[in-house]
Structure formats: C-alpha cells, structure tokens
Amino acid sequence: MIKLSANLSMLFTEDSFLRRFKRAADNGFAAVEFLFPYEYKVEEIQEKLKQFHIKIVLHNLPAGNWESGERGIACIPSRVDEFKKGVDLAIEYANALGVNQLNCLSGIKPENISDEDAENTLISNLQYAAEKLKAAKIKLLVEPINNYDIPGFILNSTKKAIRIMDAVDSDNIYLQYDFYHAQRMEGELLGNITRYFDRIAHIQIADNPGRNEPGTGEINYRNIFKSLNKLNYQGWVGCEYKPAKETVLGLVWVDTHGLHQQ
C-alpha cells in the first residue's frame, strides 16, 4: 500500500513552518519531509512530532546558502570541509528527530571547475557521507534533478546518478527517485523504477508541466502507483508538489487515485 509523506517545504505553506506539522496531521498524513531543519532548535521540532504523533522520513544534508541560489556543495572542491561539517550536523539532527535517511543535494557545477574535478569531488564526498551515515544507521540518498528547474545541477539523470553511485561503491547509498524530475529529463518512468528498484530508497511525486498535484498533467500516476504496489515498494512517497491553489483543496487527488494516507 502506498504511504504518503507531506513535504512541508511545498505543502501547507500558507502557515509558518512549525504550524505545518499540525496541518499535515489534521489532513491524514502520518509522516512529513522537508528541505532543512537547521534553522530550528531540535526541541522545537521534537515537540511537534510528539504533539501530533507524526514522524519525519527525510530531510537534506546542509546545502550551502539556499537563499543566494546554492543547491548543494558536494561537487565543489573548495567546500569539502564545509560539506563534512554539514554531514556531522545532519547526523546530529537526524538522530535527535528519528530520521533514518538523509538526501545529499549534489550541487550546481561551478563554471571554473572541470567536469572531472567536480565529479571526483562529489564521489569523494559521497564516500565520506555514506560511511559516516552508515555508522549512525542512516541511509544516504542522492537525487537527480532536472536542468530546467536548476540549470547546471551536476546530477541530472537516473543513469548518471547510478554511475556516480557505482563509483562511490558503498552499500549505504541509495537513489531518491522523483518522478517529476525524471519525466522532465528522460521519461521511461516505469522502466526505470523497475530497472533500478533495488537501489531506490525514497520516491517523490509531482505532475508535469507545472509541478502541481498528481492528475493535473501528463504523468499517469494511476499506473505508477499500481506498479509500485506490484513491486511491493515499502518506502514512503513524498508529496513534493506545488499546490495549484490551496494545499487542502488540492488533496482531492488522493481520493481520486484510490490512496489513503497512513
């Protein structure tokens, strides 16, 4: 059965971040995910988890200066020390919040860095993170992101992500598969989730075009959910879409697709 997680960086944004936990719980979500927890005290978030009986299934490693447009630093040679400190901080938060998987945003390749240097830096940083997270019993995830939304993002296809994961050569690195990003870059959605199923630890959804609710665009999510059930997918499916209007009004897609929040 499909288990839905509310992405609080995209949903219920009508409220402040800490109020979104209640909104998610009130609308049937047993789990949430989001970009970063680091501007909040651990205790503030712990209180919300306890109060609303909700869990966090995913957040990201620190990714540089998000407000200035950075989308990860793992591929930047001059930021290796910062990356490693970020891994330690992420583990601290994840342990305190009961999070058992963390996503690494690979970053936008700087123009003055060669492809080879950027990839080698990314691989080395992922090796470091994979081992540190393994010791903490946390899975490391990597996510391909389309180059239309984030031009220059170094990890931009499933095939490239798998190649980088192979080079990392760790049993603690997994694919975060986002159907929206995959549709924009490559298509072949059902084929890829079947082909790489054993390497996928987390899934995210949004429709295309627009990155709105499932059912608003070209992706056949009915078939996708059937395929995930057939494959016996046990992970969470993160709702990482932009509501076309207001979050709650848009949740009608859950019923029309025959799903139930867990």
Catalytic residue positions, numbered: 143, 240
Q: How far apart are CA 180 and CA 238, in angstroms?
A: 12
Grouping H, G, I as helix, E, B as strand and the rest as coil, residue 114 is coil
Tokens of 156: 């931009």
Tokens of 151: 């031009």
Q: Which residues contact 59 (CB under 8 A, 6 or more apart)?
A: 33, 34, 35, 36, 37, 90, 93, 94, 99, 102, 103
Q: How far apart are CA 245 and CA 127, in angstroms?
A: 41
Q: How far apart are CA 66 and CA 63, in angstroms?
A: 7
Q: Are 101 and 58 in contact (CB under 8 A)?
A: yes
Q: Which residues contact 195 (CB under 8 A, 6 or more apart)?
A: none
Across the strands, what pairs with 245? none
